[in-house]
Structure 1
Amino acid sequence: MAKVHMKLARVCRVHDILLDFITCKAAEENFITSVDSVDHGPVSDYKVRRLCVDNRNIQENILLRGLILSHVRSLTIFGNFLQIPLSTFTALRVLDLEYCQMLQDHHLAYIEKLFHLKYLKVNSNLITELPQKIGELRYLETLDISRTGIAELPPNIVRLQRLARLYVCHRTIFPDGIIGQMQSLEELDKFGVFSYKHEKPLKEFGQLTKLRSLTIRCDLHWSTDSEGSQADDLDSCMESLISSCTVRNLRILKLYNSPLSCPMSLDSWCSAAPTTNRLQKFHITFCYISKVPNWMSSLRNLKELKLYIYSLRPEDFEILGEMPSLIFLNLKTFYGTNGRIYVCGDNKGFSSLKCFSLDIIYSGTAVEFEAGSMPKLEHLKLEFPLIEMESPMSASELGIRHLSNLTKVDLVFLSCFHYDSNYDPAADKEDSIIKSVATLIKAVAEALPNNPTIKFELRW
């Protein structure tokens, strides 16, 4: 059975000689044609399908002489923009301008001529608006303008009847009534909420029957008495999203700009989550909540949960443990109740959990896993400060001996004096609390049945 890991590698690096070989081989097979200031051999005499142009580190733009461009399906540009118009690529399906430097509005002129375009990604603060005829790209399925200076979407974006994935900056404004008309939308990242008046667009998401993934960023200030009813309306919208039968991945960033002394309550978000709820991934981050609300135990299909909780209580773990499908759990907190975070081992909770990450901000909190707690846990990541001469962690191995299925342990110690991305307690010649804790945990973990890999890291 494949092991479950917290992070997956997205990129890799190869030697320059190997890269040149890959580039030449890809050109020979007509898989991808790469054109830059380095001569990789003839690139003409055949119809180019996938073209990558690298205009970086050269004084003049590369001229695409000899290439048959009418059959190009995919175009990626690094560095300066091309000297030829985009309308030359009449068969283009994919246009990736993420790494195209100094990209400006006029570079996207006549983009509507790319009739077959399915994927468009641009990245430049100099792009301030989409072309007015963007709606003519009737086959466009993915539009990524998340790293541009576009302040508002044009109304005719609703003509993109096949648009399934839309990535925007949280500052980008959606005209009134637009969201409800984007019936093909399956994923939206990231919708910004700056005012309580934005509750109306939030309600429109309920009209999107195909919507599966939604990221919302809220930049709202703590509500006063005069805004109380508006805050209730916003809570009602959130309840509608959570109770939706279509949204499966919901991420909410920075819910309120509230003082740390006033953590948010989510009790009113759901009176009772329906059994038909399909939510599988749920994040509420950059805003601390007061406690885990009782209704979360009703999220029967939830597989991944990430929360910032002001203070972790035993009751919070009881509620979280009732989620039968939960696999990934990521918590961040200031401290535990009475200086302790205790994971009870009743052999009932966390029946599916395989990855658990806990980040403790303040020192003075002890963590203890009881026998029978998190019975299927494979990957444990803990981050906590070890900066005092006396710490409740110093005499404990955290109950790791009870987590018999562990295959990977990551421990991050926050210290005022040291930084080491790959700390080895055996090589540390100083007698310190960090060394004693790491040595103890390592000895206990190495005695577990699966012989888990162990990594220690020191951070300031």
Structure 2
Amino acid sequence: MELAVGASEATMRSLLGKLGNLLAQEYSLVSGVRGDIQYINDELASMQAFLRDLSVVTEGHNHDNRRKDWMKQIRDVAYDVEDCIDDFAHRLPQDSISDAKCSFILTKMYELLTWWPRRDIASRIAELKVRAQQIADRRNRYGVNNPEHCDSSNSPRPRAHAAAQDIAEYQDTKPQIVSIKEPVGMKTVMENLEKWLTEPQPDKGRAVLSIVGFGGVGKTTIAMALYRKVSGKFDCQASVAVSQNYDEDEVLRSILNQVSKQEEAGGSTESSSRDENTREPQGSSSTSSREENTAESGTKRMLNKLKKALPLSLLGGNDDKTSVRQQETMGSLQLREELKRRLAEKRYILLIDDIWSAKTWNSIIIPFLPSENDKDSRIIVTTRFHAVGSTCSPRHKNDEATSSPGHGKDLLHKVDFLTGDKPLDLFNASIPDPMKRTDRDKKLSKICGGLPLAIVTMAGLVACNPNKANSDWSKLCESLFPYPVTTLNLDGVTRILDCCYNDLPADLKTCLLYLSIFPKGWKISRKRLARRWIAEGFATEKQGLTEEEVAEAYFNQLARRNLIRPVEHGSNGKVKAFQVHDMVLEYIMSKSIEENFITVVGGHWQMTAPSNKVRRLSLQSSGSKHGNSTKGLNLAQVRSLTVFGNLNHVPFHSFNYGIIQVLDLEGWKGLKERHVTEICQMLVLKYLSIRRTEIAKIPSKIEKLEYLETLDIRETYVEELPKSVGQLKRISSILGGNKNTRKGLRLPQEKRNKAMKNPSPQGKTKEPAEKGFLSQEKAKGTMKSLRVLSGIEIVDESAAVAASLHQLTGLRKLAIYKLKISEENDTFKELLSSIEYLGSCGLQTLAINDENSKFINSLYNMSAPPRYLVSLELSGKLKWLPKWITSITTLNKLTISITVLTTETLEILRNLPSLFSLTFAFSLSAAKQDQDTVKGILEDNKLATDGEIVIPAKEFKSLKLLRFFAPFVPKLSFPDKSAMPALEIIEMRFQEFEGLFGIEILENLREVHLKVSDGAEAITKFLVSDLKDNTEKPKVFVDGIVTA
């Protein structure tokens, strides 16, 4: 089923397995239905074999309309069969009665009680059998022929064994970090534009830089590079994308949220540790009002509308800073007023990406900008249209593509297609691994017509086909563009994207098209996407690899092909978040609509809704009054629902709960407790995310979701899981708590009785042991599939929970956000024992935030070190490193308390062969209470080495990222150029700073990022400014204070 996008081979294999299980349930079937199911099973298996042969022989070639239509019919009937089976499981009890006592009587009772639903299902199966027969007949009637071997000259490579090769090849990638990169071949232009943005204007007023150019020419790349480089020189900054179909309130709220967070952080944006989606265009805040959980009366709704329409000055909300909770309920008039007030006395820089009309600029952006601001503020705008750019920058003196400042109050910069050697330079720079340079590169870069998007995409195609002969590449160039190409138009871009798309293995095509669920400009989390791929059945176990490893290999290949653009790497060197270029997203969106794979309602795209059944629905906020309407859509077959933005209504009543497998409601403020109760009726649900919603309780009925694999309740008000969660047999990821606030999620356990009625022989009252969530009778032996348990809380009363962790032998990640236990308590011993045991079973990530610090210090003498660890994070007042840490050769990421920062510590750690990132940190909440204590410890630590921390020479061969996050960072010195030879980036966040010396001699160090907290003393500001002004290499970026 590979070529029927959305019904991959894995999906078909799952369907055939379900049919087999149904045939085995003799007591559940109505007489005569067994033969129909067997026929459907055999017919679909034959169709799958036919399509598999078709994909091997003709991959990379277009199919005629008859074949495409026939494939769609197979896909639709396969979906409908699976929906019928899932509905069968939903409506009929599945507990076996064949082995029960008096099974004959029970069987007759079962048949009587379930007669009507079984007859209904039998009727539907008979209809599906007829459809399967008709599809088979139609193939012969209309001449859908068997596949013949085709000439593969137009396809970059034969695909017979591509899938196997791809997984093996892309399973592992080298860890990397994202640095600020300048667009290729634009050094002088970037320098001039940066100078214009940072130099003061004569009247110190607001000035606008408009970047104009064709789609894919690199406008956003230039704008983002400039924004990142200069934002540290401004008091506050914000970026937002607008596009064609925008939501005015969301645009304004996104800017206000970014500005507000910087004010709360003391003038700089604290880097967030959240590992899931954030959105650059129309971002929504992570908190909002809990009061919305109650049903609103008509009067209350009317009052809310009235409040949104009134200025803040009339509501008395103008005196103090508004909270994020208040901002969520503001209307556009109030948002503009609040933004204008906050920006009035600040030097700000704004990035407004992808404006499509002058009306947008005049009606949305201009009204919230302070009319009088003499702080030399700047705005960067990108647009495809010259007229729009002229409207945004009305005071530029000419319309030519100028990169030199001084031509007017505003600046309009036109981005042209690349010429000369620049296309080839970009092509070579876009191939990840060094490959032999040949004439192939020049030919391929030439047909791209100087368009950067086409160049990097074609380079990705080459990178994934290293063994293809030059003659084959020449044929490919001739087939794509028989005539010489000067500049590339939209049709030319589509041809190149078609070529790259057709080269993908079928499973990867499905994974790529799945990205059309996300809105334009969305910053997509790699982990979130991988979990959803697994839930949809797109990434399954194969060739000895787990589902997670297969998903990672698929993602790595899409990144290598440059079809997605990594924008954020985690401290472990893996991609944390990525984006899809607008033109690529538009392309895969059109493919998804053609295949009826994804249906998008609202959002940036103005697409016509399909007239057929909706399988995967993406609801997105929109500026159009009718843009969010699902009216006229058949939603009874929806199996995947995703919500983005602040939608007022989601049509839950229109869905068939028995077939929904993926439910992603992250950030939806309209979610109520009653919705969660209804969700517990979705019996085949595999993926559930209610992250950043207002939900405070998970109902006990969640035990009904026996197929649930991922439960994401991070950053909600849920404080404890119900006991029934221990009965989820297939659960693989439980994600809770809030990493930023260190709020933890309590795991359930039975409360201890005060006393038993029968006293012990000694006359003392005996207390029964508590039962953990895996000690319940129904939960025994369950949760063997659990791989990730993140964000939990362990306190003195959690002894039973700590003991239950022994049973999670498949656990790969354990993150304890809040640990507060005393050394004398049983919980202390049970948790230490569990961690030792899990470490021997394959635990790869361990993170502990210890408020008392006694537990993390007890790890020093752990008898059995966790030898499989890849990531270790120990937060608290650590006194010494665990003595076993040098034996963990697989350790890639280490985060430890800054209280152990000594030259001796660095001497111990320098021989870790795989260490990629090293972070010394101390949480801000703890720092406020123990700042003097921490500073005293660090002062003592540096006494042994003449008042400084010395970075030892040699070793640290793999370390590329070094970070210090603490209120006080002592003097650090690199006396030898061989110290940390692979180091590329240093990051620091502090309030007090004693200096960083010797960095100019480090050969591979590219960037130093300094973020200064509000309240820093003059000496710290002087040292920071001096370091920036007197260091040419590496580049020093400062955020949080305005430097000269």
Q: State TM-score, norm by structure 2.
A: 0.36
For 2:956, which of 350, 364, 369 is the aligned residue? 350
Q: Does 1:190 align with 2:791?
A: yes
Which structure has the larger Rg? 2
Q: Which residue of 2 aligns with 1:341?
A: 949
Q: Does 1:377 align with 2:983?
A: yes
Q: Which residue of 1 aligns with 2:613?
A: 47
CA distance in 2 between partners of 1:337 and 1:239 (Å)? 33
Q: Using a 3 Å threshold, how does the CA distance of structure 1 residues 299 and 83 change in structure 2: closer, same or farther?
A: same
Residue type of the partner of 2:786? L
CA distance in 1 between partners of 2:704 and 2:828 (Å)? 40
Q: Does 1:410 align with 2:1009?
A: yes
Q: Does 1:72 align with 2:638?
A: yes
Higher RCO structure, 1 or 2 (CA under 8 Å, sep 6+)? 2
Structure 2: segments with no counterpart, 5+ residues: 1-172, 180-274, 282-352, 357-383, 385-519, 521-581, 738-743, 750-770, 776-781, 923-934
Q: Which residue of 2 aligns with 1:28?
A: 593
State the shift of 1:165 in Å: 0.7
Is the Cα contact below 8 Å between 1:112 and 1:134 reproduced in 2? yes
For 1:438, which of 1018, 1028, 1039 is the aligned residue? 1028
Q: Does 1:95 align with 2:701?
A: no
SS in 1 for 2:668: coil
SS in 2 for 1:401: helix
CA distance in 1 between partners of 2:678 and 2:1014 (Å)? 56
Residue type of the partner of 1:406? L
Q: Which residue of 2 aligns with 1:215?
A: 815
Is the Cα contact below 8 Å between 1:235 and 1:269 reproduced in 2? no
Residue type of the partner of 1:308? S
Matches within 5 A, 1:121-160: 121-123=689-691, 127-160=695-728
Residue type of the partner of 1:177? G
State the shift of 1:32 in Å: 3.0
Q: Using a 3 Å threshold, how does the CA distance of structure 1 residues 357 and 26 change in structure 2: closer, same or farther?
A: same
Is the Cα contact below 8 Å between 1:190 and 1:217 reproduced in 2? yes
SS in 2 for 1:289: coil
State the shift of 1:247 in Å: 1.2
Q: Using a 3 Å threshold, how does the CA distance of structure 1 residues 148 and 311 change in structure 2: closer, same or farther?
A: closer
CA distance in 2 between partners of 1:96 and 1:276 (Å)? 34
CA distance in 2 between partners of 1:63 and 1:412 (Å)? 44
State the shift of 1:229 in Å: 5.4
CA distance in 2 between partners of 1:118 and 1:151 (Å)? 22
Q: Using a 3 Å threshold, how does the CA distance of structure 1 residues 351 and 75 change in structure 2: closer, same or farther?
A: same
Matches within 5 A, 1:302-317: 302-310=891-899, 312-317=901-906
Q: Which residue of 2 aligns with 1:426?
A: none
For 2:842, which of 233, 237, 246 is the aligned residue? 246
Q: Which moved more, 1:232-241 or 1:156-165?
A: 232-241
Q: Using a 3 Å threshold, how does the CA distance of structure 1 residues 360 and 52 change in structure 2: closer, same or farther?
A: closer
Q: Using a 3 Å threshold, how does the CA distance of structure 1 residues 102 and 47 change in structure 2: closer, same or farther?
A: closer
Q: Which residue of 1 aligns with 2:569?
A: none
Matches within 5 A, 1:244-283: 244-253=840-849, 255-256=850-851, 258=852, 264=854, 266-271=856-861, 274=864, 277-283=867-873
CA distance in 2 between partners of 1:275 and 1:149 (Å)? 35
Q: Deviations over 1:288-325 (max 9, x none)?
A: 21232322222221110111132522221122223222
Judging by fraction of residues, say which structure has more strand.
1
Residue type of the partner of 2:1039? E
Q: Using a 3 Å threshold, how does the CA distance of structure 1 residues 315 and 234 change in structure 2: closer, same or farther?
A: farther
CA distance in 2 between partners of 1:128 and 1:374 (Å)? 47
SS in 2 for 1:315: helix
Q: Which residue of 1 aligns with 2:97?
A: none
CA distance in 2 between partners of 1:411 and 1:40 (Å)? 43
When the two chains are superposed, the root-mean-square deviation of aligned CA atoms in Å is 3.7
Is the Cα contact below 8 Å between 1:31 and 1:50 reproduced in 2? yes
State the shift of 1:11 in Å: 4.6
State the shift of 1:360 in Å: 4.9
Q: Which moved more, 1:354-363 or 1:78-87?
A: 78-87
For 2:802, which of 184, 202, 220 is the aligned residue? 202
Q: Using a 3 Å threshold, how does the CA distance of structure 1 residues 101 and 359 change in structure 2: closer, same or farther?
A: closer
Judging by fraction of residues, say which structure has more helix.
2
Q: Using a 3 Å threshold, how does the CA distance of structure 1 residues 198 and 308 change in structure 2: closer, same or farther?
A: same
Q: Which moved more, 1:105-114 or 1:207-216?
A: 105-114
For 1:5, which of 149, 167, 177 is the aligned residue? 177
Q: Using a 3 Å threshold, how does the CA distance of structure 1 residues 208 and 104 change in structure 2: closer, same or farther?
A: same
Q: Using a 3 Å threshold, how does the CA distance of structure 1 residues 146 and 433 change in structure 2: closer, same or farther?
A: closer
Q: Which residue of 1 aligns with 2:354?
A: 15
SS in 1 for 2:957: coil
Q: Using a 3 Å threshold, how does the CA distance of structure 1 residues 266 and 162 change in structure 2: closer, same or farther?
A: closer
Q: Which residue of 2 aligns with 1:178?
A: 773
Q: Using a 3 Å threshold, how does the CA distance of structure 1 residues 124 and 317 change in structure 2: closer, same or farther?
A: closer
For 2:688, which of 101, 120, 124 is the aligned residue? 120
Q: State TM-score, norm by structure 1.
A: 0.77
State the shift of 1:248 in Å: 0.5
Q: Which residue of 1 aligns with 2:59?
A: none
Q: Using a 3 Å threshold, how does the CA distance of structure 1 residues 228 and 130 change in structure 2: closer, same or farther?
A: closer
State the shift of 1:406 in Å: 1.7
CA distance in 1 between partners of 2:862 and 2:911 (Å)? 15
Q: Which residue of 1 aligns with 2:650?
A: 82
CA distance in 1 between partners of 2:627 and 2:593 (Å)? 24
State the shift of 1:86 in Å: 6.5
Is the Cα contact below 8 Å between 1:274 and 1:298 reproduced in 2? no
CA distance in 2 between partners of 1:174 and 1:61 (Å)? 43
